[in-house]
Structure 1
């Protein structure tokens, strides 16, 4: 989850979690146990635009999959190296190294070994212009009986939306199933909408163990968290943003 410039829907503090807790349409989404949602698949493949999107959007589901010994592979499309473009303390080369290390530590806490992580280095902020290259990189990594999970095609972040399009194209080549999860959408969607703006969405109910694993994984992304040191940029994941992902469920849609 990286900051994005000049995107009106991703501006300001966004919708607080307290408003989502009162959302009628979110509460009314069909619910299923996360473990049951995984029935019948051979492998879960999570394609994440930036390191931490996978933990934010489906960290609990990843932990659930590994708890039942379902294979999980995580594909990190970019290294999130451009998240602090105006911060001398965080040049892209340094961020690339740091964020890969954070991703590996976070996924280890979710039960995913380092050898089940693919890093593609497509270029933070450049996914849309390199979409064809992403399709070509993803295609050999996917298998017919996979369920491939990625960010929502309507998430309002260009990298997230381009990743979703590329995943749909690559998965179609082998017949793999695709599902998506919102990340930035919780920042700008209306909790008071008269009906769900996420067609076909479901709530995947998490166990307490999966929630704990997700929280521990998110804490690994220190580069994205609050830092009060003088001269440091505003964090990508301040407490009010993290609150939107501290739920006992995750949302997926076809």
Structure 2
């Protein structure tokens, strides 16, 4: 038999073939009755489009980032249920400023006594002199003058002087209550004559123009008649 004839007969036989449906069902039922699972047809999976693969990868990255953020929040310290709470900003410390004393309005004149306080015009950016001018219309048998310089930045004494004789006074320089205190006290048995007299305290200070708002002076005297007099003055805005 020639190859051409064989091919024709095979095609005719294939075309005439009809599957025996009843026999196939019978085989399936028989297999199920015997406890075996029916044959599973496995179809090849189609590859996902490239855009879908990219979207899936992006979603996965976002999920990892979201989980990381949740982990940081849930493990933080200092808040309820483990939530992280931002610390409030720390307030800057308020610089300490020495206020003027609560002396009320000082009298610059009392009876024969008058006074004035001022920063000497020859003061500079590193050094200053505070001048006390005291005038009395009659002799004094007792006198105490105090000059108080607020201890602002860098203040320290460099000396003092007075126009009256040095041997007539005791002089001290101390620190008290936030002030550098110059004190001149008339010695017992000495007398301050009538006239205008000067007392001055000198000191270094931090570079720049120094604010003398907290500085002040007081003077307490006894007249030869036994009467007392007291005066005072500020060096700052109240001057």
TM-score by length of 2: 0.22
User: Greater share of helix residues, 1 or 2?
Assistant: 1
| Higher relative contact order, chain-length normalized (CA < 8 Å, sep 6+) | 1
User: Greater share of strand residues, 1 or 2?
Assistant: 2
Larger gyration radius, structure 1 or structure 2? 2
